[in-house]
Amino acid sequence: MKEILKKIKHSSKVAVFGHQSPDGDCVGCLAAISFLCEKFGKTVDAFVDDEIPSRLSFLDTKFINNCEFDEKNYDLFISVDVADKHQLGKYSAVFDDNHSTISIDHHSIRDLVSKITYVDKKASCCEILFELLTLSKFKLNSWVATFLYLGVSDDTGCFMHDSTTSYSHYVASKLFDYGADFATVNYHLFKLVTKKTYELTKKLDEMAKTDNGIRYVVVSQKFLKDNNCKKSDFGDYVNTLLNLEGTKISFTMIEIQKDFYSLSFRSLKNYNVANVATKFGGGGHSQAAGGRIGGDRDVCLNKVIDELKLEIQHKDASI
């Protein structure tokens, strides 16, 4: 961590990067690392090769992607919350080249290589950023505290995933003292349902199926077109699916291109969907993960369900 602070101190212009399909942790980390660089008097720009989802637009995220990226303009490149090189999208080449690069992350399975890598398997990457900011001795303000809280709360599922630790709660309590707007963050992350999502949810509830503790919904491109919606309108429907009594694992399988599906998994504690997601070109955390699969709908669906059944059988046998 001291090495990271030193690097930032001796840089002049910094580019910071988050992952595609950005979540609260990714956006919170980008805000925190930008705050840190600015406190050191550096110019900093933040980039994600994706749109920032509307569920996070209650905070001012305009500091992300607010200029064109030109690598010549920077002498230090930092990724936060990025496990896999591909999650950097068009920016991934920056980490291949002979640049000055730093990675700060909390995922256990990762393949992003950089000059300095700091990995700590905390519940959220924002908890690492909190530690880094604390070490820097710069005083946190309510702006950065709210963004850090966003990351901790989103990645712990409002402190309900079993990845949550006493340190997550400790960080939250410190952020509370720095003026983090926890009520607004938690309302937008876990309570607010847009009218569009509300209407969509009613339809999805009718389409949902259950198979041996696995509850899921498969969404075709036709459905997306007929209902004039996109993947991001599903909000946290995959969490809603998990809430029905008797459900151990839930997933959504959304056809984002013809015969190509985006997978999103949630599970009760004891079941590890990150293991399953890695078999489908993805990853994540034990209770929340995602992946992709291509091919015929029913073939794909059976493959996913078979893997999930194995995970359930394996874990149920060991209880």
What residue ranges bind Mn ion (CB under 5 A)?
25, 81, 125, 155
- As measured in angstroms, the least distance from the Cβ of 237 to Mn ion is 20
Nearer to Mn ion, 186 or 201 (CB): 186
3-class state of residue 126 by DSSP: helix
- Calculate Rg over the CA atoms of the chain: 20
Nearer to Mn ion, 22 or 235 (CB): 22
Residue 20 exposed, middle or buried by CB count within 10 Å (0-12, 13-18, 19+):
middle
- As measured in angstroms, the least distance from the Cβ of 246 to Mn ion is 29
The residue number with the shortest CB distance to Mn ion is: 25
Nearer to Mn ion, 108 or 212 (CB): 108
Euclidean distance between CA atoms 81 and 103, whole angstroms: 8
- As measured in angstroms, the least distance from the Cβ of 4 to Mn ion is 18
- As measured in angstroms, the least distance from the Cβ of 102 to Mn ion is 17
Euclidean distance between CA atoms 258 and 275, whole angstroms: 26
Nearer to Mn ion, 155 or 255 (CB): 155
- As measured in angstroms, the least distance from the Cβ of 72 to Mn ion is 30
Nearer to Mn ion, 127 or 255 (CB): 127
Helix (H) or strand (E) holding 76: strand 76-80
Nearer to Mn ion, 283 or 300 (CB): 283
Contact 100, 11 (CB under 8 A): yes
Describe the strand order of the beta sheet including 260-267 as a list of residue ranges: 209-211, 214-219, 249-257, 260-267, 288-294, 283-284
Euclidean distance between CA atoms 76 and 100, whole angstroms: 5
- As measured in angstroms, the least distance from the Cβ of 79 to Mn ion is 12
Nearer to Mn ion, 114 or 247 (CB): 114
Contact 251, 304 (CB under 8 A): yes
- As measured in angstroms, the least distance from the Cβ of 238 to Mn ion is 17
Nearer to Mn ion, 81 or 236 (CB): 81
- As measured in angstroms, the least distance from the Cβ of 168 to Mn ion is 12
- HSE at residue 149, side-chain half, CA atoms within 13 A, is 26
Euclidean distance between CA atoms 135 and 195, whole angstroms: 43
Instruction: Give the DSSP letter string of 151-198.
Output: HHHHHTTTTTSTT--HHHHHHHHHHHHTT--HHHHHIIIII---HHHH
